[in-house]
Amino acid sequence: MTLTTLDERTALVLVDLQRGIAGGATQPFTGPEVVARAATLADAFRARGLLVVLVRVSTRPDGSDAVPGRTEAQRPSNRPAGWDEIVDELAGHPSDVVVTKRNWGAFYGTDLDVQLRRRGITQVVLGGIATSIGVESTARAAHEHGYHVTLATDAMADLSAESHTHSVERVFPRLGERGTTAEILDLLTRSHPAAGLD
C-alpha cells in the first residue's frame, strides 16, 4: 500500500456508520472496530481543522424514494426506529457535515460535491460500511468528480471478507491510494501539524 500525500484541503468522508449498519455482522473487521478507527481518524481531522463528512443512508417514511428497477435483493421495508442515526462515537460535532443519501453512493442525489467544492476540498479519505457497496460507490464517484481518493482499508468492512478484499485489492488501486488508519494518521501528522499533537 502506498500513500504519497494528503492535500492541504483534504476531507474525511465516512459512509453509513450508523446504528442499523455498524451493528451488523461484518468482515474482516467488526463494526465496532471500524467505528473505533473511524472515530480516531475523525478526531485527528477535526483537531487540524479539516472537514469531516458523515454520510448516512435513509428512506422516506412513505417509501417514495424506493430504489428504482427490479433487483433480486430489495431493501427491507420495515427498519427499526433510529436505524439511520449516526453512531454515538461519531455524532455530535457541530463542525461536521452530515449528508443523507438514498442510494449506495454518497454523491448521486446529494449535496456532497457542493459541500466539498465550496470549501476547496481536493482530496477525500474514505471509510465506512460496506466496502464494496457504499464505500466503493462513493470512491468511484469521487474519482469521477476529480478528487484525489485515499482509502482507509482497516476503517471499512463488508458483509463478506471476499467482497472487502476484491474492492481493496482489485478496485481501489484504480481509484486512489490505500493505507491503514495508522499510516493515514502518520501522514496526516507529518503533512498537517497541529498544536499540542504529536
3-class SS of residue 198: coil
Residue 83's pLDDT is 84
Q: What is the pLDDT along the chain (198 residues), one digit of tens a residue?
A: 589 999 999 999 999 999 999 999 999 999 999 999 999 999 999 999 999 999 999 876 665 556 667 667 665 566 777 888 999 999 999 999 999 999 999 999 999 999 999 999 999 999 999 999 999 999 999 999 999 999 999 999 999 999 999 999 999 999 999 999 999 999 999 999 875 544
Q: Distance between terminal CA atoms of the chain? A: 24
Domain boundary assignment for the chain: 10-60+82-191
Residue 77's pLDDT is 60
Query: At residue 179, what are phi and psi to the nearest 5 degrees?
Result: -165, 160
Residue 132's pLDDT is 97
The domain defined by 10-60+82-191 folds into Rossmann fold (3.40.50)
Asked if 55 and 138 count as a contact pair (C-beta separation under 8 A), the reply is yes
Asked if 12 and 41 count as a contact pair (C-beta separation under 8 A), the reply is yes
Maximum Cα–Cα distance across the chain: 54
Q: How far is CA 118 from CA 22, 44, 63, 112, in A?
A: 30, 22, 32, 10
pTM higher than 0.85 for the full model?
yes
Residue 197's pLDDT is 46
